[in-house]
Amino acid sequence: MTNLKRIYPALAWAALISALLTVTVGGVVRVTGSGLGCPDWPLCHGRIIPPADLGAWLEYSHRMTATLTVIFTGLLVTSGFLRHGWQDKRFRLVLAAPILLLAQVILGALTVLLEISPEVALVHTAVAMTFVALLAVVAVTTAGPRRWHDALISGDDARKYRWVLGLLGAATFLLIISGAYVTRTGASLACLGYPLCGDVPGGMGELQWNNMAHRGVALLVGILMLGALGTALTLRHRTVTLLTILLTSLLGLQVALGATNVIMELPAWARGAHLALAGMFFAGVILLLSALWQGRPVPRGAATVEQSSKHSLKSTLAAFFWLTKPNIIVLLLISTLAGMLAAAGGGVSWTTALPVLAGGFMCAGGAGAMNSYLDRGRDVVMRRTSWRPIPSGRVSPRAAFIFSAAISLLSLPLFLTVDPLVALLSAVAWAYYVFFYSGYLKVRTTQNIVIGGAAGAFPPLIGWVAVTGALDAPGILLFLIVFFWTPPHAWALAIVMKEEYRQVNVPMLPVVRGDAEASRQSLIYSFVLVATTVVPFALGYFNVLYLAGALALGGAFLWLAFKLYRTPGRLMAMKLYRYSTIYLALLFLVLVLDRAFLN
């Protein structure tokens, strides 16, 4: 037992290497079409030793490397328990490894038994890369290179480098998932041009867009890698610079192999190398990010796990749940479900509804958690938000960031099982809300909520697209309804909370131009909102029941907005805010009933 305890660092690295080997061999199995080389599981053609067939041996080798990973992971967990004990948070991190591995084994078995269902295989890839990332973090925290942390634990450039590297890791994860989806859907040679798709007889179709979406993510990864390289050069630290140059070189080689796959029409050697380098590059990014993140400085006044008291499992789970802002998610999911039900005429398949709603919860929850991370400095000052998990010290900023990134990324495989366009729209909404609104727009203009409100208008459009597969007029009208609803809803709350927004220098319209101007613009947007709700009936998309409900609900909305305009103040603003919250849910309920009974 003592020897097992001592080799804990070595086991961490061995588990990581074996996991990467498993992913690489699995990639070779996939590109050579050997996934069913052994049609049964866990044996191969009913035998322990496979027959003399290349496909069978490749698939069997994949299973053997997976078995090696299982053994190393089991030893790692045992050694971690002996070294740290149950209560140590480092052991709890290690404990997640066998859970992911078990999920991976189950998905691997389903991939064979279901004859490589694209949906199961896609989730299989996502879990595999999550497992690799976890082992990379464990390896660094137990035996990683720690001598050079101090050169990176302070300064704006250091923080910028960690941020860019974190985004690079997330984008690389998405790149690998999108690449797997391209392969699973048979879109690898849908575009024979490079870097653009080239001439396509009959025009761009779903397969071509899938292929180009993967190239678009590759472009994003390249931009982030160049950003990381430029930032690393400013740090003037030889080890970091060399490692970043190495990662840049790996990515350049990866891009070259991708081009080779297109130009030479998927030679097996290039496909296998392309997949192997993808795993190595992803693991390298996570390793470097983990090493740097360990030594990051803790901002003054920020709550940390070490400073806070130990929480029970129940209170910790509750804190992470509230970090997702579930009160906002409920309305977003209602509008998403309404979009699906309206598109389907009242009934929607569970195979569509469950992935979209589960993915919607994770995507919106991840965005909400990231917003809390970015706003933590303001939240601790505002009375309305000071109870939130980060400012109250129940969740550390680091844990919130990791949690947000994790559940946001895990939403993508769920969306991809429904439609790539659904995944794309969700990713755009997430990025728009987090980067454009929360990270930039919110503190720069009084029209922040108007421009940024587009992020909250995506859910009904996503629901519509999930069923129809098309970005057409009815779905866009649902988007516009929520878009024009947002300003009067948000400005009503801003009037109530005006002083708190002023205290944290957020230029909400009532803060900068007063309650009267905010009330006037709220009334204008209320008229535009009600007019927009009538358009779907006028164009023949919805029926008379919807029209009656839209006019009745809209009339009450206009009346409250007009009263706020006549007597601006907290009392009427709160009445409008409360009504606007239930207005949207009731409007979508009427819409669903109209489509279900009169369509």
Phi, psi of 44 (to 5 degrees): -125, 110
User: Higher pLDDT residue, 298 or 481?
Assistant: 481
Residue with tokens 């230029």: 507
Q: What is the 3-state secondary structure (H, E, C) of 117-140?
A: CHHHHHHHHHHHHHHHHHHHHHHH
Q: How confident is the model at residue 312 (pLDDT cuts 50, 70, 90)?
A: low
Residues 6+ apart with CB under 8 A from 89: 305
Q: What is the pLDDT of residues 566-596, one digit of tens each?
A: 999 889 999 999 999 899 989 998 998 888 7
More confident residue, 364 or 500: 364
d(C-alpha 132, C-alpha 72), whole Å: 13
Residue 52 or 417, more confident: 417
Give the pLDDT confidence of 16-42 residue by residue, as tens digits. 888 888 888 877 776 666 666 777 767
pLDDT tens profile 328-386: 888 888 899 989 988 887 678 888 888 899 999 999 999 999 988 888 888 888 777 78
> Which range, 202-206, 310-314, 496-500, is most confident?
496-500
pLDDT at 445: 83
Residue 112 confidence (pLDDT): 58
Listed by start position, the domains of the chain span 1-144, 148-297, 472-599
Q: What is the mean pLDDT of the chain?
A: 82
Between CA 233 and CA 137 the distance in angstroms is: 24
Question: 3-state class of 47 per DSSP?
Answer: strand
Q: 300: pLDDT confidence band, cut at 50, 70 and 90?
A: very low
Residues 6+ apart with CB under 8 A from 441: 448, 451, 452
Using the predicted structure, report yes or no on whether residue 166 has a pLDDT greater than 60: yes
Residue 182 has pLDDT above 90, yes or no: no
Residue 308 has a pLDDT of: 42
Across the range 517-538, mean pLDDT stands at 94
Percent of the chain exceeding pLDDT 70 equals: 87
Give start and end residues of each alpha helix (H) in 469-508: 473-496, 498-503
Which residues fall within 8 angstroms of residue 178, CB to CB, at 6 or more apart?
210, 213, 214, 217
Provide the angle, in degrees to the nearest 10, between the axes of the packed helices 570-598 and 473-496: 160
Q: What pLDDT does 516 receive?
A: 92
Residue 16: burial class (beta carbons within 10 Å; 0-12, 13-18, 19+):
buried
Least confident of 146-150, 264-268, 403-407, 440-444: 146-150
| pLDDT score, position 497 | 86
Distance CA 533, CA 359 (A): 27
Exposure b/e, 474-484, CB count within 10 A at least 16 = b: bbebbbbbbbb
pLDDT at 1: 54
Most confident of the following: 147-156, 176-185, 335-344: 335-344
In this structure, the chain runs to a length of 599
> What is the model's pLDDT at position 151?
43
Q: Which two tokens stand for residue 587?
A: 């409007």
pLDDT bucket at 465, cuts 50 / 70 / 90: very high
Q: Is 44 helix (H, G, I), strand (E, B) or coil?
A: strand
**pTM of the entire structure?**
0.54
- pLDDT given at position 298: 40
Tell me, what's the pLDDT at 302? 41
Q: Is the pLDDT of residue 515 over 50?
A: yes
pLDDT of residue 405: 87
Handedness of CA 579, 582, 584, 588 (dihedral sign): negative
* Residue 479 near residue 462 (C-beta atoms within 8 A): no
- Under 8 Å between Cβ of 338 and 591: yes
Q: Which of 48, 6, 420 is nearest to 207 (CA)?
A: 420
Per-residue pLDDT tens for 273-293? 888 888 889 988 988 887 776
Average pLDDT, stretch 54-71?
Answer: 81
> Rounded to an integer, what distance in angstroms lies between the CA atom of residue 372 and that of residue 385?
9
| Tokens (6 digits) for 433 | 């809300």
Two tokens at 538? 């006028």
Mean pLDDT of 88-94: 73
Least confident of 88-92, 288-292, 510-514: 88-92
